[in-house]
């Protein structure tokens, strides 16, 4: 039937379209729905199906990216992730990633496992054969054979041609400066996960979460982390402390330098330290970061806090006199002076003679509650948290009576992290703003926004005055660090160590705090020495003025030019205007 009808249609059509060219075109695109509905319908269904298939495939391709092969997915969770570079305040690299090749195996695809083990151990001799055999015996899709091999080993393993054994480039964390800033940087493990220090801090800022979510981050995408540390200063400090440690045969030495106006830590050294490239002994007990993990009784350095408290309260002024003629009896205890003067002292004299009696009297004048409140305000009673994840809680006496106030006044009976004490000294000298120390670079404006005013600017000037007096007056204990040209102020501190619950007479922890320059402070220095010994030049003394003081002096002499502090050989004209107006002891 269709065969006969077709020519008829054609004839009819041939006649009709002769009318115009428009008609031709219309004829070309006309669908003959009237005659072959079924066939067109079938074709339509076919095409619709085809388009569905194509569309589906497109969606599939768009959703699953072409790089996500099976292997890639397995390894992305295994290979060590990229980490941002860590640079110092001048842009010197402190930690960076380099690409290293690691060998992996797919146990399912290895045909002869024993042969593979034999060949691999022949090329990589430090592999444990039985351990490797066990690893290859599992049904896992992916096991590491050896991480971080040399290019030569890679070539040799490649030449073995074992099916199911391959290579993957990995990021290896390296610390080119080795020990220089070990305690600040911390370290990362073989999987490039931060274990300690700033490395751990970086991870806590969300880097590991990104990696866990499967984002493939390269180190080029990551902005370098800028620390406040100055590598040159850091090295100089470490070098000087190392010399001091050897000279005074100390068990441990630590030092820190802080910018008092921004709270930036310019350097932090704790000896003995470790090499973050090979941190096998990083977690040993004597390698702790003594500046912010250890807590110590800071000794006479704490007298600066007591003096500031007394002056700031208004109950004492710079000309107040304190009776130090005889020991201060408290119950069955008698508080005596190390450098006894047996006379009535003014506040600056109490400070430079480091009189326990005078300082204790100041604290008693304030009272227990006032003392506690002041120390809490100065951040000495609570845990100080910085970017470094390691920190320690101060050891505060459980029942704080008057006797505690008396001893804490001169630095015994309250153990704090040295970083806390440094923060407090910074606040005492910078005009009275307590700024939390940071290990990241920042400017003074940002620091000031977070600063808490704790003492009056006048009290701060008085503190700078007594610190300077302690270094410039011949009777003061800080003269060893009074490097000419830098107008240094400082305070020594010697705390007897507690051995078996008693204060030991010959084992000391000596500290030295210096402020530079004293008229307009920019930096504070802190040095701690654990059990320094009396040596031939120190006349049998092992107190801070004989060891921590001179070491800090050496540090200042070497570091101050690096910090850009210009030397001035004429003393400033009016360094402490208020003090000279009040006629404080030592101004005339």
Partner 1 sequence: MKRLLHFIAITALIASAGYAYSIKYETLFYVEQVAKLKSKVQRERDALAVLQAEWQFLDRPDRLQAAADEHLDLQQMKIQQLARLSDLPNRPSREDEIGRKLEALGLLEPTATPKDKTSDARTPSTQTPKR
CA neighbor of 552 nearest in space, from 273, 301, 356: 301
Output 9 or 24, the one with its CB closest to partner 1. 24
Pick the closer one to partner 1 by CB: 18 or 505: 18
H or E element, residue 76: helix 70-76
Min. distance of Cβ 415 from partner 1 in angstroms? Answer: 33
Cβ distance to partner 1 smaller for residue 98 or 155:
98
Q: Which is nearer to partner 1, 117 or 233 (CB)?
A: 233
Whether 300 is catalytic:
yes
Q: How far is the CB of 96 from partner 1 (least distance, A)?
A: 5
Sign of CA dihedral 543, 549, 554, 558: positive
Nearby residues of 543 by Cβ (< 8 Å), 6 or more positions away: 338, 492, 494, 508, 510
Are 508 and 387 in contact by the 8 Å Cβ rule? The answer is no
Nearest to 412 by CA among 325, 515, 301: 301
50: which 2 tokens? 């085809």
| Chain residues that interact with partner 1, rule: CB under 8 A | 24, 28, 92-93, 96-99, 169, 174, 176-180, 218-220, 231-232, 235-236, 239, 483-486, 557, 560-561, 566-567, 569
Annotated active-site residue in 80, 270, 300, 354 = 300
Burial of residue 217 (CB within 10 Å: 0-12, 13-18, 19+) is middle
**Of 148 and 557, which has the nearer Cβ to partner 1?**
557
Instruction: Give the Cα separation of 385 and 59 in Å (integer).
Output: 50
Lookup: tokens for 493 = 């501190």
To partner 1, the closest distance from the beta carbon of 239 in angstroms equals 7
CB of 466 to partner 1, least distance (A): 25
Q: Are β-strands 225-226 and 86-87 bridged in parallel, bridged antiparallel, or unpaired? A: parallel
State in angstroms the smallest separation of the CB of 229 from partner 1: 12
Query: Whole-number minimum distance, CB 425 to partner 1, in Å?
Result: 24
The CA distance from 388 to 561, in Å, is: 28
Token reading at 246: 């050897």
Q: Which is nearer to partner 1, 86 or 207 (CB)?
A: 86
Contact by Cβ (8 Å): 558, 274: no
Residue 80 is given by DSSP the state P
Residues labelled catalytic: 300
């Amino acid at each position: 039937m269709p065969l006969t009808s077709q020519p008829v249609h054609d004839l009819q059509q041939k006649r009709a379209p002769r009318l115009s060219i428009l008609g031709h075109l219309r004829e070309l695109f006309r669908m003959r729905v009237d005659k072959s509905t079924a066939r067109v319908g079938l074709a339509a269904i076919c095409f619709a199906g085809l388009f569905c298939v194509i569309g589906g495939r497109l969606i599939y391709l768009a959703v699953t990216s072409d790089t996500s092969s099976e292997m890639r997915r397995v390894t992305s969770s295994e290979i060590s992730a990229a980490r941002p570079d860590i640079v110092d305040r001048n842009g010197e690299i402190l930690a960076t990633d380099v690409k290293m090749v690691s060998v992996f195996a797919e146990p399912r695809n290895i045909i002869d496992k024993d042969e593979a083990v034999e060949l691999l151990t022949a090329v990589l001799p430090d592999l444990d054969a039985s351990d490797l055999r066990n690893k290859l015996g599992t049904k896992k899709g992916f096991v590491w054979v050896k991480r971080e091999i040399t290019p030569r080993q890679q070539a040799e393993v490649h030449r073995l041609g074992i099916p199911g054994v391959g290579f993957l480039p990995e990021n290896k964390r390296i610390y080119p400066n080795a020990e220089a800033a070990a305690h600040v940087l911390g370290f990362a493990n073989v999987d490039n996960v931060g274990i300690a220090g700033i490395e751990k801090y970086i991870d806590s800022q969300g880097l590991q979460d990104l990696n866990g979510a499967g984002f493939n981050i390269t180190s080029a995408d990551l902005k370098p982390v800028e620390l406040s540390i100055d590598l040159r200063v850091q090295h100089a400090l470490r070098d000087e402390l190392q010399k001091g440690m050897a000279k005074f045969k100390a068990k441990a030495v630590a030092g820190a330098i802080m910018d008092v106006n921004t709270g930036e830590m310019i350097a932090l050294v704790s000896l003995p330290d470790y090499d973050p490239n090979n941190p096998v002994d990083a977690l040993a007990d004597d390698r702790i970061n003594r500046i912010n993990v250890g807590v110590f009784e800071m000794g006479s350095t704490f007298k600066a806090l007591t003096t500031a408290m007394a002056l700031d309260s208004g109950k004492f002024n710079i000309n107040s006199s304190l009776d130090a003629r005889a020991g201060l009896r408290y119950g069955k205890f008698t508080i005596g002076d190390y450098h006894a003067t047996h006379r009535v002292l003014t506040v600056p004299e109490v400070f430079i003679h480091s009189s326990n009696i005078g300082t204790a009297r100041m604290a008693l004048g304030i009272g227990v509650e006032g003392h506690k409140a002041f120390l809490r305000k100065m951040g000495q009673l609570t845990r100080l948290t910085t970017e470094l994840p390691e920190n320690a809680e101060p050891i505060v006496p459980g029942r704080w009576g008057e006797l505690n106030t008396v001893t804490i006044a001169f630095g015994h009976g309250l153990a704090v992290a040295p970083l806390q004490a440094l923060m407090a000294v910074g606040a005492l000298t910078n005009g009275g703003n307590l700024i939390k120390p940071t290990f990241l670079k920042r400017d003074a404006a940002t620091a000031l926004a977070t600063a808490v005013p704790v003492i009056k600017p006048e009290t701060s000037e008085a503190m700078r005055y007594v610190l300077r007096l302690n270094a410039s007056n011949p009777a003061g204990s800080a003269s060893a660090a009074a490097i000419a040209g830098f107008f240094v102020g400082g305070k020594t501190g010697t705390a007897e160590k507690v051995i078996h619950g008693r204060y030991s007479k010959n084992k000391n922890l000596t500290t030295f705090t210096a402020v530079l320059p004293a008229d307009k402070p920019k930096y504070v220095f802190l040095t701690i020495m654990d059990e320094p010994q009396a040596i031939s030049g120190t006349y049998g003394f092992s107190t801070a003025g004989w060891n921590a003081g001179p070491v800090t002096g050496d540090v200042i002499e070497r570091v101050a030019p690096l910090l850009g502090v210009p030397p001035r050989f004429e003393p400033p004209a009016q360094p402490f205007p208020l003090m000279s107006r009040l006629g404080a002891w030592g101004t005339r």
